[in-house]
Amino acid sequence: MAVYNRTREKAERFSKEYGVEVARSPKELADKADIIMTMLSDSDAVSSFVGSVMDYLGGKTLVDMSTIHPSVSVKLAQEVSRRGGKMYDAPVIGTSVFAQQAKLTVLLGGPKEGKEAVEDVLKATAQTVIYVGPNGAGLYAKLVNNLMVGVYVAALAEALEFGLKAGLDPNVITEVLSKYTSASPTTAGLKLPKMLNGEYSVQFATKHMRKDLEIIQDEAKGLKSPTLLSSLALQLYRISENMGYGELDYSAVKEVISGKRR
């Protein structure tokens, strides 16, 4: 087992903590591993990395856990296949808390043949692995989830502010929305305390929610699918990022509703 990071210090820190070898280059990583797993920031980062190892992927399996444009992932998977390798998209549902508890859900897209070996590796950090379909399917399923969650948390922030302005007790609002609502009490239970306390330690960063909603807008154009609510939510997360909340939890969208700048 080996680890590679463009920032060598991060790879060395990971190596010391988990006792794995540090690869000095993407080529060395490909030489040392039959299954290569990546989790990167965006489509450009994934394209750059896959391009750097493309010539060494014959007989290898690449599992990309990033949330990127499905159309980009599909094109990369086709190129990997031409080189004699396999590629899977495997984005996750769950926050950093779920990752620490090994309770993530992975949405797997790619070739059916050989997926069992990939699922076995993913189960080291995931509670559930769902095979969704061919390349790109895992990413589309992830975007379906994040479209809903992004819109929901923005609505949650607006509902909270409305209740506070109406003079309701914050504890009553929290109880109603986290226990008795017909919407999503789990998400409300996680995000309402953050909004009420103005404590936005990151579970999922604002900049990542903004990025995912932008991907949804890009992909929806080709699909000719209307995105009325998610496009509005995107504007709120963009404003939140511009207000200085980009690195903090996306529940900081509450401060957009309240009009508070960092």
Query: What phi and psi values does residue 64 have, to the nearest 5 degrees?
Result: -100, 115
Q: Number of H helices and number of E strands within the chain?
A: 12, 8
Give the C-alpha separation, 193 to 186, whole Å.
12
Q: Tell me how long the chain is.
A: 262
- For residues 99 and 126, is the Cβ–Cβ distance under 8 A? no
The answer to whether the beta carbons of residues 53 and 27 sit under 8 Å apart is yes
Residue with tokens 């000719």: 224
Phi and psi at 126, nearest 5°, equal: -120, 140
Angle at 222 between CA 217 and CA 223, to 5 degrees: 90
Q: Which two tokens stand for residue 210?
A: 């903004």
125 has which bridge partners? none
Evaluate whether 150 touches 215 at the Cβ level (below 8 Å): no
- The bridge status of strand 92-93 relative to strand 104-109 is antiparallel
Give yes or no: 142 in active site: yes
Residue among 86, 142, 194, 254 flagged as catalytic? 142
Helix H, strand E, coil C: the string for 212-249 is HHHHHHHHHHHHCCCCHHHHHHHHHHHHHHHHHHCCCE
Q: Which residues are catalytic?
A: 142
